[in-house]
Amino acid sequence: MDILVERAGGVMTITLNRPGRKNAITAVMYQAMADALVEAQADDTVRAILLRGSAGVFSAGNDLEDFLKTPPVGDDAPVFRFLRAISCAEKPLVAAVQGAAVGIGTTMLLHCDLVYAADTAIFALPFTQLGLCPEAASSLLLQRVAGYQAAAEKLLLGEAFDANEAHRMGLVNRVLPAAEVDSFALQQAQKLAALPPSSLRVTKALMKRASQHEVQTQMTDEVVHFAKMLLAPAAREAFNAFFEKRKPDFRSVS
């Protein structure tokens, strides 16, 4: 299965498990993750949630082939169901990041409460390089975490950055050796699971309350622009170039 869901000791672990495609996410995978997050919310035995990738990779982002076959043009698309579920999750979310975390592989981390990265982790937000705009409210949240200039550099240029820079920006809590990051993140999730769930739920709600409406509004605005840009010439050129393994030429697009 491309998404593995396990429950143990009060922790639900959601693993992206498509190593042959660097855990690139399909619509079916988004739906499975959304369903798991909804189930976690309703299951009193789940007190914390851990997100991780298999085979030393977090996620290469969207599977572009699947993405173009079933473009997310409506509010009900699996990717947007997932984003609503992760952004509104009431229980603590912990992420363990190894290897590539591209596009939504990075933006979903902005909705996690604790993020631990391997020293091998590489982050990238290549939306402009694909003729698109940010999603997951990252156009709002990244600048709140990192400051406007740092966020602008990552979102406008779309260039990759390493775990140490992600830590300096405030995107991750701690950088660890690759061999240790999964077990450490699980230990942190287990610590959360051992605490009173009502205290965790209320504390998280209080911390997020002021920005929750803003986040949902920003996410909705991003979806509107994203859907239009997905059908525009810049995105078509970017995707064609990707599949043809060449550099895109945006000189004729506005």
Q: Are the C-beta atoms of 126 and 101 separated by less than 8 Å?
A: no
What is the predicted pLDDT for the residue at 242? 92
Q: Kindly report, residue by residue over 54-97, the tens digit of the pLDDT.
A: 999 999 999 999 988 888 877 789 999 999 999 999 999 999 99
Q: 37 pLDDT band (50/70/90 cuts)?
A: very high
What is the predicted pLDDT for the residue at 96? 98
Q: Kindly report, residue by residue over 190-241, the tens digit of the pLDDT.
A: 999 999 999 999 999 999 999 999 999 999 999 999 989 998 999 999 999 9
Domain positions in the chain: 3-179
Name the CATH superfamily, with its identifier, for domain 3-179.
2-enoyl-CoA Hydratase; Chain A, domain 1 (3.90.226.10)
* Stated pTM of the model: 0.96
